[in-house]
Amino acid sequence: MSDNTGPWLIVGLGNPGPEYAGNRHNVGFMVADLLAERIGGRFKRAQKAQAQVVEGRIGPPGPAGRRVVLAKPMSYMNLSGGPVTALRDFYKVPTDQIVAVHDELDIGYGALRLKLGGGDNGHNGLKSITKSLGADYLRVRAGIGRPPGRMDVAAFVLKDFSAAERKELDWFVDRAADAVEALVTEGLERAQSTYNG
């Protein structure tokens, strides 16, 4: 069961490198970057994992704030499970205090869904994490919609957001970061009632 003193591990999923930075698949990295900015931290290389991490607190100042480790695996999306497992072991985080923030094809652009457990829906990052941890971790699913026409899914997720989407992107990433904070400080049900849409 959740432990109020132990840290939460919040993992933004994406691919490392400037060529991927604006891709739809990297919305998890974008949310992690914003959360790091909010807590006044800078990502640095983790000692025990192929990842970048920031440690800090989310929520009200003082003891009510929750300890968090924000992480961006540097292993490429389809190998995310290794770094996440190494971070879980190093920081001794229970699985129900691990949050994966990721892009989701089956939700319209800009919508969010928060949930515990479930399948990977063909998402290679989730597939890798589930293989390493089991499925009982939390997810903040950031909707990117389906590719237009017959565009290949892999090509779609590795493309940058469209000009129209970019107009809403800051708002979307901001709202996803709010949802992560609510999940950690208020619990899943309250966060779902506010942000699932």
Report, as residue numbers or ranges, the catalytic residues. 25
Q: Please, how many CA atoms are within 13 Å of residue 16, restricted to the half-sphere of its CB?
A: 13
Strand order across the 98-104 sheet = 44-45, 51-58, 66-73, 8-12, 98-104, 138-143, 112-116
Q: What is the CA radius of gyration of the chain?
A: 15
Instruction: Using alpha carbons, select from 126, 85, 80, 83 the residue that is nearest to residue 103.
Output: 126
Helix, strand or coil, per DSSP, at residue 155: helix
